[in-house]
Amino acid sequence: MKIATIFLLGFLFSLSLFGQSNNRLLQITRLTGDFYIFTTYKDYQGTPFSANGLYLVTNAGVVMIDSPWDTTQFQPLLDSIKLKHNKDVVMCVATHSHEDRTGGLKYYGQKGIKTYTTEQTYRICKAKGENLAEYRIQNDTIFKVGQYSFETYFAGAGHSPDNIVIWFEKSKVLYGGCLIKSTEANDLGNLGDANTKEWPKTIRKIQGKFGIPNYVIPGHQDWKNNSSMNHTLQLLEQQNK
């Protein structure tokens, strides 16, 4: 009996750790209420670099914004969500055409999850022969899933020509993706598809539309400092001198 009890406690502890996914490859952190940030890592210029995504737990299933950058974590993320919340992911929205956002679209589509990108992102991915979403967003759209609603918004070019943000009005959560740079960032990162001249205008349009969010989630690095939009503008000012 004593051995069985010890085994059971050890098993439950292991489940608890797995549910938190607090490891080197996949980290899940509660943001607020039913919002969670998932973070994975990939080598960038020889150094492990973090990428953030978000998921929202609703009574109709889980909404995922972007997919893990680390391709080995596509299924572990689904497993962790199922274990932690006893719910399935029902939709995934990718915020632009780079692989750290769209990498999991094919995988999740094969799992029966509805996948979405904007028409512009779809066309870019198709031209490059990369993963495509099942559904295309033609214009800025308000989605309603369970008790929550959220809005996709394209303010203009910046990090990429197709980058959108996701706005959760009720909780005032702005998911900025790679358009928004973390306050940890010392530079603008990958500028291969960037438009640094339009980028400041895009940020200011977002600020004008949504005001001061309670939370702003950048695509990479730390997300706990809420001044990341202004920090992005400062980096752009330096870049555009």
Please give the positions annotated as active site.
96, 98, 100, 159, 190
Exposure class string for 53-86: b at 16+ Cβ within 10 A, else e: bbbbbbeebbbbbbbbbbeebbebbbebbeebbe
Q: 98 near 125, Cβ under 8 Å?
A: no
Per the CB < 8 A criterion, the answer to whether 60 and 89 are in contact is no
Query: For residue 135, what are its two tokens?
Result: 């559904």
Question: What is the CA angle 89-178-53, rounded to 5?
Answer: 25
Q: What are phi and psi of 189, to 5 degrees?
A: 70, -140
- Determine the Cα–Cα distance for residues 86 and 146; give it in Å rounded to an integer: 15
Return the CA Rg of the chain.
18
CA–CA dist 199, 193 (Å, integer): 12
Angle, helices 2-20/74-85, rounded to nearest 10 degrees: 120
CB 206 within 8 A of CB 162: no
Amino acid, res. 50: S
User: What is the β-pairing status of strands 215-218 and 61-65?
Assistant: unpaired
